[in-house]
Copies of this chain bind each other. A is one copy, B any other.
C-alpha cells in the first residue's frame, strides 16, 4: 500500500473549503474509523461533539482567535477527553471511582489524539482537507461550558473538515537525525556532545525552512524554525490550563 504512505506524507492543513456540504453518513463513517484506533486499556475516553453552523459555532470561532475557517468549515468537530462515562460505569456497579490522576489526563488526551488522527486519515483518503484547532483551549472554560461538558470531561482540540479550496505546499519536517535516535537520546555521547550534533542539524533545517517560507505560494515570510520556536517560547502557554483541568477533576494528583 504505497498509496497510504503517499497519503500520509502529503498532509497539509486546509483552511479554505469549498461550499460543499459533507453528508452525515460520511461523518459517521469517519467517527467509526476514529473509534477503531488503539485505546489505552480499552478505556475509549474520547467523545466527539459535532457543532453545526450557527451562533454556537461562531462563538467558538471567536474564542479560538477569530478563526474564520472554524466558522465556515462544512463540518466542525470537538474532540473531548471524557471520563464522565467511566463515572457512570462505576455508578452502575455501585463502586467508587478513583479519579484525578495525572496519568488519566494523559491516557484520555492520547486516546482523543489517536482517535482524531484516524478520523483525519480517513477524511484525507476521501479527498477532504482538515485543520486541527488547538485555539479552542484559548478560553477552554468558555468552550467547555458552550458544549455543556460535565466534570471529568474537557475539550482537547477542534477539527475543521471540508473539501479543499486551496492547495498549499507540504511543510518540511525536522531531519531524521533529530527525530529517530538509537537506544539512547544522546546516542551514548555526553548530552553536551549530542546537543552539538543536534544544533548543527537544526542549523541546516533552519536554512531549509527559511527557503520554504520565502518561496511558498502564500503568507511568505523570513523565518527559520528555531526563530519561530524560540519566539513562541518567550510567551506564556495558556497559563489557565492547570486550574481549569484541576477544576474539571483531572491532574489533582
Binding site for B on A (CB under 8 A): 1, 3-5, 7-11, 13, 27-29, 31-33, 35-38, 40-44, 46-52, 56, 80, 84-86, 88-90, 92-93, 95-99, 101-104, 106-107, 109-110, 112-114, 116-118, 120-122, 125-126, 130, 132, 134, 137, 147-150, 153, 156-157, 170-171, 173-174, 176, 178-186, 188, 191, 195, 198-199, 202-203, 225-239, 241-242, 245, 251, 253
Contact among B101, B202, B233 with A241 in the assembled complex (CB-CB below 8 Å):
B101
> Which chain B positions have C-beta within 8 A of A130?
38
> Which chain B positions have C-beta within 8 A of A9?
32-33, 36
Query: What are 30 A-B pairs at a CB distance below 8 A?
Result: A4-B121, A4-B122, A8-B33, A28-B176, A32-B173, A38-B120, A48-B179, A49-B183, A49-B185, A50-B182, A51-B183, A84-B185, A86-B229, A88-B199, A89-B225, A98-B233, A102-B241, A103-B137, A103-B239, A106-B137, A109-B110, A110-B113, A113-B113, A113-B114, A114-B116, A147-B184, A147-B185, A150-B186, A242-B251, A251-B251
Q: Is the CB of B35 within 8 A of A157?
A: no
| Assembled-state Cα–Cα distance A48/B181 (Å) | 6
Contact among B37, B41, B156 with A134 in the assembled complex (CB-CB below 8 Å):
B41
> Which chain B positions have C-beta within 8 A of A49?
181-185
For this chain, the copies found in one complex come to: 2
- Tell which of A171, A185, A186, A227 has the most Cβ of chain B within 10 Å: A185
